[in-house]
């Protein structure tokens, strides 16, 4: 027994010298001083030590224990817990044997049976195109505000624009429409695993395939539409069409991928031409404003004119009434005078005449001259005025 | 005893090594080529048709080999992505566009694949060249619209078929399943043209909208002005008529009254006129012979 053996106090169970045992020189764990370990020596000591260890202890029993532990360890390669969202494929000597449902399972250990576990129901996402925030900087995202046009014209920061245009995301999203206009599309693919066997056994790098097919497919679709069609027909139709196209292609690859949905996050014009595009909306607003202004003018002028017209008419009517009333009054006065005159004409005539002339002549300055002084130069000297100026 | 122990260990180790090397497992997604002294003698789980003369093992599973003398090369049996470099294609009209495509292929005949291409790296390189070449051949000379538009699908099939034909001719041992145009981009200069055109179109649209708006506005204004003038003119016309009626009525009234005795009317109205017409300061030259002064020179009023 190693602990009974007093002859080699400096040895550990594995043989060799313990550090700090013999001399002060640094020791390797395999013993031997400065020389590199010798294979034979090592084996000898190993074998010797092990032999001593086992031999001394009741060797078969210990061997059994160790054997069982090793066996258990080996068997444990066959234990697996399959999560609710997962499925596992078991291959026996490499050949597909069965699928494991969620739960705890034991299968034959490696390399007899080998399992591959994969989450099948989790929704995986791939984003393609620039994120909305990047576009919002240039006032472009039509994602929010239900597609209304925004007020005001942006001043585009040229540097920021170039930085955006250099990003891979932006280049992924920049596409040509059928009528050769640029359009920036951002979309998200959501998929999960439909057929696990195909997914694991038929296709290499399925995620890469999904991405490549998505990019290619979207460009194909956008390229078949005019710019107007793309921006108006919009997101739902485009998303549906792409989903169908992608599923078709991925099925032809036997990818086992199940495309759940394609969501269009943004469809917009490239920021480089933002000013011109927003100008269109601004122009519409300007046009509307001009028309409104003219309508306002109309609403102001017409009532005014109508009022003026009315006033003219009223004035005319007033004139008519006045004139008629005055005339009636005068005519009545005449009639009454004539009535009273008719009773004694001569007397009344003479009296009227004298009364009138009295009034007239008393107002005026008179010069009384002989009537035959009317021809030739009138011999008249305005003494009044001469006297007045002295 | 020690020597025996060591020997046992060595023997066990050697036996184990030999045992581990005498078999190989071929998984569902693999195909394996077995070589003896560098020559292909067996294929396990091939993905497609294998050239004649080589023994085939169908399906995945456990296979045996002679250790040390025979060794294996593993290949993927799945659908593999081929990413090629963008090709520069000259379209009708002389412009050049950059076409970025990708392809999916399978190693169908691993035996010929082993001798022709040998590994995925080589395969990628050689097949890429084929794809780029075919892209140029099929798309070159097409118009830009065709490439970008619905014809795309048809063209991609053409490219695929061409690549496959060439791969077969070269005996690569692969089958190309699909070739897709990922991107067809315009070179810088053209892109600028497109931007310029997009801008111009929109600016024209904007200008048109503004012009139409202004025109409409002007029409409304002019209409309004015209209506205003019309209203006033109409009112004036009517008011003159009304005034005329008034004047006519006035004349009728006077005529009616004065016709009772025209002579007296004349007399009466004249007297009114004299009264009204005389103002302070007027100078009148009167003869004493006037009616007014009848009794001026004689008490009997004679001449």
Closest approach of chain A CAs to the CA of B199, in angstroms? 5
Taking CA–CA distances from A39, the nearest residue in chain B reads B6
The predicted structure's pLDDT at residue B49:
85
In SS3 terms, chain B reads as CHHHHHHHHHHHHHHHHHHHCCEEEECCCEEEEEEECCEEEEEECCCCCCCCCCEEECCCEEEECCCCCEEEEEEECCEEEEECCCEEEECCCCCEEEEEEEEEEEECCHHHHHHHCCCHHHHHHHHHHHHHHHHHHHHCCCCHHHHHCCCHHHHHHHHHHHHHHHHHHCCCCEEEEEEEEEEEECCHHHHHHHHHHHHHHHHHHHHHHHHHHHHHHHHHHHHHHHHHHHHHHHHHHHHHHHHHHHHHHHHHHHHHHHCCCHHHHHHHHHHHHHHHHCCCCCEEEECCCCHHHCCCCCCCCCC
Residues A280, B206: C-beta atoms closer than 8 Å: yes
Q: With contacts defined as CB-CB under 8 Å, which chain B residues touch A202?
A: 29, 78-79
Closest approach of chain A CAs to the CA of B115, in angstroms? 23
The predicted structure's pLDDT at residue A88:
94
Q: What is the token pair recorded at A224?
A: 């078949």
Mutation pick from B86, B123, B261, B278 vs chain A, by most beta carbons of A within 10 Å, is B278
Rounded average pLDDT over B4-12? 86
Nearest to B79 among A43, A202, A215 (CB): A202
Neighbouring-strand partners of residue B67? none
Q: What is the mean pLDDT of chain B?
A: 87
The predicted structure's pLDDT at residue A102:
94
Q: What is the token pair recorded at A259?
A: 């495309």
- Per-residue CA distances from B63 to A95, A274, B32, B57 (Å): 11, 65, 10, 8
Closest approach of chain A CAs to the CA of B117, in angstroms? 19
Return the residue matching tokens 């001798």.
Answer: B115
The predicted structure's pLDDT at residue A29:
46
B20 and chain A: CB distance < 8 Å anywhere? no
Q: Are A134 and A244 in contact (CB under 8 A)?
A: no
Asked which of A233-237, B73-77, B269-273 is least confident by mean pLDDT, the reply is: A233-237
Taking CA–CA distances from B296, the nearest residue in chain A reads A368
Residues B223, A298: C-beta atoms closer than 8 Å: yes
Nearest to B81 among A43, A209, A304 (CB): A209
Q: Which residues of chain A have pLDDT under 50?
A: 2, 5-33, 141-154
The predicted structure's pLDDT at residue A364:
77
Q: With contacts defined as CB-CB under 8 Å, which chain A residues touch B145?
A: 178, 180
Rounded average pLDDT over B53-72? 89
- Per-residue CA distances from A126 to A135, A261, A376, B58, B157 (Å): 19, 11, 127, 37, 26
Closest approach of chain B CAs to the CA of A41, in angstroms? 11
Neighbouring-strand partners of residue B209? none
Q: What is the token pair recorded at A307?
A: 């009022």
Closest approach of chain A CAs to the CA of B239, in angstroms? 5
CB atoms near residue B159 (< 10 Å): 26
The predicted structure's pLDDT at residue A43:
54
Residues B194, A182: C-beta atoms closer than 8 Å: yes
Closest approach of chain A CAs to the CA of B204, in angstroms? 9
Nearest to B254 among A204, A331, A352 (CB): A331
Residues A269, B198: C-beta atoms closer than 8 Å: yes
- Model confidence at B302, pLDDT cuts 50, 70, 90, reads low
Q: Are A223 and A177 in contact (CB under 8 A)?
A: yes
Asked which of A208-222, A362-376, B9-23, B139-153 is least confident by mean pLDDT, the reply is: A362-376
B181 and chain A: CB distance < 8 Å anywhere? yes
Rounded average pLDDT over B121-128? 92
Residues B228, A111: C-beta atoms closer than 8 Å: no
Q: Give per-residue pLDDT as tens, B190-230.
A: 788 889 999 999 999 999 999 999 999 999 999 999 999 99
- Model confidence at B76, pLDDT cuts 50, 70, 90, reads very high
In SS3 terms, A126-170 reads as EEECCCHHHHHCCCCCCCCHHHCCCCCCCCCCHHHHHHHHHCHHH
Neighbouring-strand partners of residue B219? none
Q: Is pLDDT of B296 > 90?
A: no
Rounded average pLDDT over B19-44? 91
Taking CA–CA distances from B256, the nearest residue in chain A reads A331
Residues B210, A359: C-beta atoms closer than 8 Å: no
Cβ contacts below 8 Å, chain A against chain B, sum to: 339
Closest approach of chain B CAs to the CA of A39, in angstroms? 11
């Amino acid at each position: 027994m190693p602990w009974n053996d007093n002859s080699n106090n400096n040895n550990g169970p594995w043989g060799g010298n313990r550090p700090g045992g013999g001399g002060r020189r640094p020791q390797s764990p395999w013993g031997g001083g400065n020389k590199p370990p010798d294979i034979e020596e090592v084996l000898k000591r190993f074998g010797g030590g092990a032999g001593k260890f086992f031999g001394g202890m009741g060797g078969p029993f210990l061997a059994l224990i160790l054997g069982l532990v090793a066996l258990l360890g080996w068997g444990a390669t066959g234990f697996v817990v399959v999560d609710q969202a997962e499925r596992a494929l078991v291959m026996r000597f490499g050949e597909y044997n069965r699928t494991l449902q969620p739960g705890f399972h034991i299968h034959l250990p490696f390399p007899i049976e080998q399992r591959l576990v994969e989450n099948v129901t989790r929704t995986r996402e791939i984003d393609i195109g620039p994120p909305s925030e990047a576009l919002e900087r240039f006032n472009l995202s039509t994602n929010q505000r239900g597609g209304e046009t925004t007020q005001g014209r942006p001043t585009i920061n040229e540097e920021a624009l170039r930085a955006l245009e250099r990003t891979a995301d932006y280049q992924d999203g920049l596409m040509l429409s059928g009528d050769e206009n640029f359009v920036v599309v951002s979309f998200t693919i959501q998929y999960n695993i439909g057929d696990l066997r195909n997914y694991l056994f038929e296709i290499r790098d399925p995620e890469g395939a999904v991405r490549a097919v998505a990019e290619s497919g979207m460009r194909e679709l956008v390229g078949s539409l005019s710019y107007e069609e793309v921006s108006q027909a919009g997101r739902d139709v485009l998303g549906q069409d792409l989903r169908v196209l992608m599923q078709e292609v991925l099925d032809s690859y036997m990818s086992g991928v199940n495309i759940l949905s394609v969501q269009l996050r943004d469809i917009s014009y490239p920021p480089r031409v933002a000013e011109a595009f927003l100008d269109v909306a601004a122009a519409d607003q300007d046009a509307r404003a001009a028309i409104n202004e003219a309508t306002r003018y109309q609403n102001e002028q017409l009532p005014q004119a109508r009022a003026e017209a009315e006033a003219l008419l009223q004035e005319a009517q007033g004139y008519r009434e006045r004139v008629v009333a005055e005339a009636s009054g005068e005519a009545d006065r005449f009639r009454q005078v004539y009535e009273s005159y008719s009773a004694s004409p001569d007397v009344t005539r003479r009296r009227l005449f004298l009364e009138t002339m009295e009034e007239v002549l008393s107002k005026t300055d008179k010069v009384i001259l002989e009537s035959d002084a009317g021809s030739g130069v009138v011999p008249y000297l305005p003494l009044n005025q001469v006297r007045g100026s002295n | 005893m020690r020597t025996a122990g060591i020997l046992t260990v060595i023997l066990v180790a050697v036996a184990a090594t030999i045992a581990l090397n005498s078999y190989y497992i071929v998984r569902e997604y693999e195909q394996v080529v077995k070589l003896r002294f560098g020559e292909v003698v067996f294929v396990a789980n091939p993905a497609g048709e294998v050239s004649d003369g080589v023994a085939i093992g169908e399906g995945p599973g456990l296979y045996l080999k002679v250790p040390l003398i025979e060794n294996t090369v593993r290949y993927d049996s799945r659908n593999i992505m081929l990413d090629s470099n963008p090709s520069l294609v000259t379209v009708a009209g002389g412009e050049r566009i950059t076409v970025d495509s990708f392809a999916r292929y399978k190693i169908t005949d691993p035996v010929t694949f082993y001798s022709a291409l040998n590994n995925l790296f080589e395969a990628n390189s050689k097949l890429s060249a084929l794809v780029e070449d075919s892209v140029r051949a099929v798309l070159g000379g097409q118009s830009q619209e065709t490439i970008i538009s619905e014809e795309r699908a048809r063209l991609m099939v053409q490219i695929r078929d061409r690549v496959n034909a060439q791969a077969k001719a070269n005996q690569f041992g692969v089958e190309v399943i699909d070739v897709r145009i990922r991107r067809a981009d315009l070179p810088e200069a053209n892109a600028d043209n497109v931007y310029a055109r997009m801008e111009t179109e929109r600016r024209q649209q904007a200008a048109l909208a503004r012009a139409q708006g202004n025109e409409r506005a002007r029409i409304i204004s002019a209409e309004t002005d015209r209506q205003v003038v019309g209203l006033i003119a109409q009112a004036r016309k009517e008011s003159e008529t009304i005034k005329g009626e008034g004047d006519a009525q006035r004349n009728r009234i006077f005529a009616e009254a004065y016709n009772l005795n025209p002579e007296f009317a004349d007399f009466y109205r004249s007297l009114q006129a004299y009264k009204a017409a005389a103002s302070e300061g007027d100078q009148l030259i009167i003869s004493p012979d006037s009616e007014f002064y009848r009794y001026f020179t004689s008490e009997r009023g004679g001449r």
